[in-house]
A = this chain, B = another copy of it.
């Protein structure tokens, strides 16, 4: 087994002056890795997770792995069966939709607060993200386009200055990442995405809280529709295989 010492990992984190943050534990490192595996479907939805196997695969013992699983359960990426066997969550379309509704309310609030609290440079940064997406509408790789999209949403929430909101939003982001990514690959959706983003950014630039919140709510509402379509298509395609 590979033993990962703290010192061997130190160059990955504690860079610069960020000595405020507690040093990373194996639990967090494992959670990050697992999160990535799940989002990239290296661990596919519904897959059972054998604590011993996965721990061995990550080169750690079961103790920190179990901690990581608890974390991911909170994020909604891992579920426990009635007999407490952990598996990768496989949310139904209905559940994804329910999560998106909450996400919509969170982002609307974020936009509203951002209109009041964002610094000018934060607004400028958000505008530039939107421009980047518009400019690359025909050229950007799906993953890049998507990442920029996500970054823009996160930036708005960050600009709200509300830490609780930022944290809860991040949690929903993790939970919805996969579904939204699948949806975003439908390239014909880019046009709509950009139009909606334009409305959001426009309202935010004018610091019109009501309009920003409304535009974000609208954007998330259409996300529900798009994701429904995409997941259905996907399910149909997988059925054929």
Binding site for B on A (CB under 8 A): 19-23, 25, 27, 63, 66-67, 70-71, 74, 80-84, 95, 98-99, 101-102, 105-106, 108-109, 113, 162-165, 168, 172
- Per CB-CB distance, the 4 closest pairs between chain A and chain B, nearest first, are A105-B109, A99-B164, A98-B164, A98-B162
Considering the chains assembled together, what is the distance between the CA atoms of A102 and B171 in angstroms?
14
Whether B168 pairs with A168 at a CB distance below 8 angstroms is yes
Considering the chains assembled together, what is the distance between the CA atoms of A83 and B63 in angstroms?
20
Q: Which secondary structure dominates where chain A touches chain B? A: helix
Interface pairs (24), CB distance under 8 Å: A20-B82, A21-B82, A22-B80, A22-B83, A63-B63, A66-B67, A67-B67, A67-B70, A70-B71, A95-B163, A98-B162, A98-B165, A101-B109, A101-B113, A101-B165, A102-B106, A102-B109, A102-B164, A102-B165, A105-B105, A105-B106, A105-B108, A105-B109, A168-B168
How many copies the complex holds: the figure is 2
Measured CB to CB, the nearest residue on chain B to A109 is: B105
Considering the chains assembled together, what is the distance between the CA atoms of A83 and B23 in angstroms?
8
Measured CB to CB, the nearest residue on chain B to A105 is: B109
Considering the chains assembled together, what is the distance between the CA atoms of A162 and B99 in angstroms?
8
Whether B108 pairs with A163 at a CB distance below 8 angstroms is no
> What residues of B have a CB within 8 angstroms of the CB of A19 in the complex?
82
Whether A25 pairs with B84 at a CB distance below 8 angstroms is yes
- Nearest-CB distance from A61 to chain B (Å)? 12
- Nearest-CB distance from A139 to chain B (Å)? 35
Considering the chains assembled together, what is the distance between the CA atoms of A239 and B108 in angstroms?
40
> What residues of B have a CB within 8 angstroms of the CB of A63 in the complex?
63
> What residues of B have a CB within 8 angstroms of the CB of A71 in the complex?
70, 74
Considering the chains assembled together, what is the distance between the CA atoms of A74 and B72 in angstroms?
11
